[in-house]
Structure 1
Amino acid sequence: MTPPADEPFVTAVKPLVDAIGGELIAPDRAQGDDVVLSWEGRAVVAVRLPHLSASLDHILAELRRRHGVPLRDLDRRTKQSVVRVLEQRGAFSMRHGVETVATALGVSRFTVYNYLNRENAERAAGPGAGGPEERGGAGGA
């Protein structure tokens, strides 16, 4: 059995499942780590979650689609923004996360760490401190 595509609940959760790189499956096909979603007392659909490494690849592919060009073709400021988004989504808590992101952005691991350090320094400086450009600096890597 496949989940009914015309089921309103399935239609409602599909964008979320797609965004995380999961897969909708019929509840009777659910396995150990799958999440069965019920509505009004009946199992409607199950979600097969992606492996963590696949999640990072999925997030990078989504960012590429969102920007409309390969991530390596983005300008420095946009790459810094991408790193900020990835940090918020936990990409750098994964093993080899920095290396995977560096490869996708076409930069070195050192550059990714510079972007992260810059972001953390600006956050620590607090509101109103401004970025390096506002303070008269060149801005680093």
Structure 2
Amino acid sequence: MWLEAEFTSEPFHGEGSPPEHALAARAAAAEAGLETDFGPFGTLARGESEQLFDALPVIAQAALEAGATQVTLQVRRAEPGRTEANEKPAEAAGPAVELTDALARLIADVEREMGAKLGELDRAGKQRAVRVLRERGAFGLRKSVSSVADALGVTRFTVYNYLNREAD
């Protein structure tokens, strides 16, 4: 069974470099051979269930030894071979929450320009779409990150990750 674990370590530092405890947790997941997706509010690790379950205590220990005061974890089933966290099958793609009219128009414009629904784009296309949406002010709208994540078929952490890559 293929699983995905989403973990956060606290305290959060907000802007700037990620805290050492978050970097240590990500490194432990990568050393365990898990696919990782690192974001400002958490890390996703994906792999076979046995591999993931074996790595979870190591990840938590690494974060706590590097200064974390708390580690929070969610584990869910995932499909093998997915390169994006929480990608939805094509028949379920699309926003799961109601979008504001302005955000819905921005997303529809980007989909037209890119020639596909956001959830159907490859990783590079999704990153491009996030960049264009940021340039057009989409992320100034209320709950926009969650709505864009739903439209892309990824987690909020992935959207934040794409936004942070643009800021670097």
Q: TM-score range by the shorter chain?
A: 0.3 to 0.5
TM-score, normalised via structure 1 length? 0.47
Which fold has the larger relative contact order, with Cα–Cα distance below 8 Å and residues 6 or more apart in sequence? Answer: 2
TM-score, normalised via structure 2 length? 0.40
Higher strand residue share: 2
